[in-house]
Structure 1
């Protein structure tokens, strides 16, 4: 049952948002949210490539997300762009849209959709744990909550990120002659890890793969304090330069830790920062010596907590462990519905088993 937030009778949810092959479609406004193919008008929750694609006629997103899309796809990534003002409402047709922080990466937002007394929240990807590089998640009471379920199984309960960061720094102190190479997704995870390392008191330079450089510079330009960050130059991995990187921390895309690139450092310790590192077999499969369970997605407990907080009677699940979370919703007296949307989960922690999130240059 839906709950009216205005004086007019509420719509049915399927009249306001419809799952389509292109993504979630809002007929009264004629817009798509996070479409997976080019459309005339798109609203984008965040800058990861499985949600933010180039080629749309017009894009509405937060200022930071628009900047990330321009950096990744070029200034002509869309026919036109519009900034969603923080806390403000944008009316398209007769539908009101608000962008509310999602806590996933810089600029990430939930999109609140309201029309004729019905409120649906499209959360995109989100997490509840504190992140020094982006605004925290804000729960919004609604009729229908649309959620991911990347880590929607009871086995996925993430430890505090600060404790996992301490594991990395303990290893650096224990093995001062070895380079610590940490795989971290280039947008969001790498910068969050840098910020956590700084908060833990580490003051030495942090070295990065070239694929991480431009996004890191954008974060720094946005005022995120990451300290002294240096791009690895080709000569530093040759015999004469390798010795200087002994004992240092190098952050790179996940694919690079399995590439020849990583084996040219002094006796490297390979680490990987991801929620998937909860599964030890996965860490072994990827050749990870130091698994770090640091996730930018809600874990099993936080998914449940969020669903309780938003008080929605219907839960729509976009991707991840949708069937498991839908089953839990049923036990909690809620209507859980997997949407089986195709195209999400191709970047970051949601990448399919065995598929690298990025290809290192």
Structure 2
């Protein structure tokens, strides 16, 4: 039985399944690509043939335009098996954003799983992560330091709602990434009983429409740009993180600047960004979840992509798991969950 390292190769374009003839989340234009999810550091335009979940294909098309998200597209449901040149391929939920998937491959009796980005906590807008035992597991390491232990997302959202109740004359503007975080916050607010309109920065409108088209109900959403200042008293506005401290937010009614991100665990980062209400809500696994997942898949070898590769590899070695840092180019560049330019915990 060949070890997965003999047929899953690290190339300048990214991970390449040699017998299957396809790349996984390639950083360069390729003939055949399997895409884990729609964030721009994993899903790039220009590939000839693209395979992904139906939701990811819709997200890619909305972001890139018709024809740029693969000349031909093939949708694969979670758990549906496909054989490509003798390689059995199937997708498992990754829990990261709508349509996000782990890429599972089996060739000649050995199994590799490329997780993409993932989280283990429940998300009303994404199918929950499923453990797939394997011989080789490829994991992210965005928050792979012991300092990053994410609190309950529901508890963090409760902080936002308490602040809204405490300052009913002010507008709470929450910085969040346009794909995944925005829609998750909206769905969580609805679950918490917030049935009032939620106002959106223009950059968030299109992706919310895609989620709605895919069956995710988000309720009453309105454009913040055209709303009158008085109408936004006591309102919740969702915007890109960069817009929170920008002139755009100053037109709101005494705005309370907030940001929802795993990096809000680092107080210095929140302070530097002028964030009055940091919300530690992440769509990535934290330190404990990374370790627990690597153990749950029972893989004797784990390859680590973007993030704190060395810290995670060391921790895994103490558990008898062999680790390898891949140093893949271009991964981990999502807007609000990208690693800071300077080490925040040094």
Matching residue of 2:243: 256
* Cα deviation code 1:298-350 (max 9, x no counterpart): 00011111111100000000110000000001111110111111100111443
* Cα deviation code 1:57-96 (max 9, x no counterpart): 1000000000000000011112111111331111111111
* Cα deviation code 1:109-133 (max 9, x no counterpart): 0000110011000000000000000
Residues in 2 aligned to 1:266 and 1:232: alpha-carbon distance in whole angstroms: 11
Q: 2:122 aligns with which of 107, 119, 130?
A: 130
Matching residue of 1:312: 299
1:151-162 aligned at under 5 Å gives the runs: 151-162=143-154
Structure 2 residue 106 is matched with structure 1 residue 114: yes
Cα pair 1:102 1:109 within 8 Å, conserved: yes
Cα pair 2:270 2:278 within 8 Å, conserved: yes
Matching residue of 1:217: 209
Structure 2 residue 84 is matched with structure 1 residue 92: yes
Residues in 1 aligned to 2:102 and 2:152: alpha-carbon distance in whole angstroms: 23
**The residue matched to 1:129 in structure 2 has which SS?**
coil
Cα pair 1:48 1:348 within 8 Å, conserved: no
Residues in 2 aligned to 1:90 and 1:271: alpha-carbon distance in whole angstroms: 44
Matching residue of 2:252: 265
- Which runs of 5 or more residues in structure 2 are unaligned? none
* Alignment: residue pair count: 341
How high is the TM-score relative to the length of structure 1?
0.93
- Which runs of 5 or more residues in structure 1 are unaligned? 1-9, 356-361
Q: 2:56 aligns with which of 48, 61, 65?
A: 65
CA shift, 1:263, in A, is: 1.1
Residues in 1 aligned to 2:38 and 2:283: alpha-carbon distance in whole angstroms: 13
Residues in 2 aligned to 1:259 and 1:18: alpha-carbon distance in whole angstroms: 43
1:187-336 aligned at under 5 Å gives the runs: 187-234=179-226, 236=227, 241-336=228-323
Cα pair 2:93 2:130 within 8 Å, conserved: yes
**The residue matched to 1:316 in structure 2 has which SS?**
strand
How high is the TM-score relative to the length of structure 2?
0.97
Residues in 2 aligned to 1:270 and 1:354: alpha-carbon distance in whole angstroms: 22
The root-mean-square deviation of aligned C-alpha atoms, in Å, is 1.1
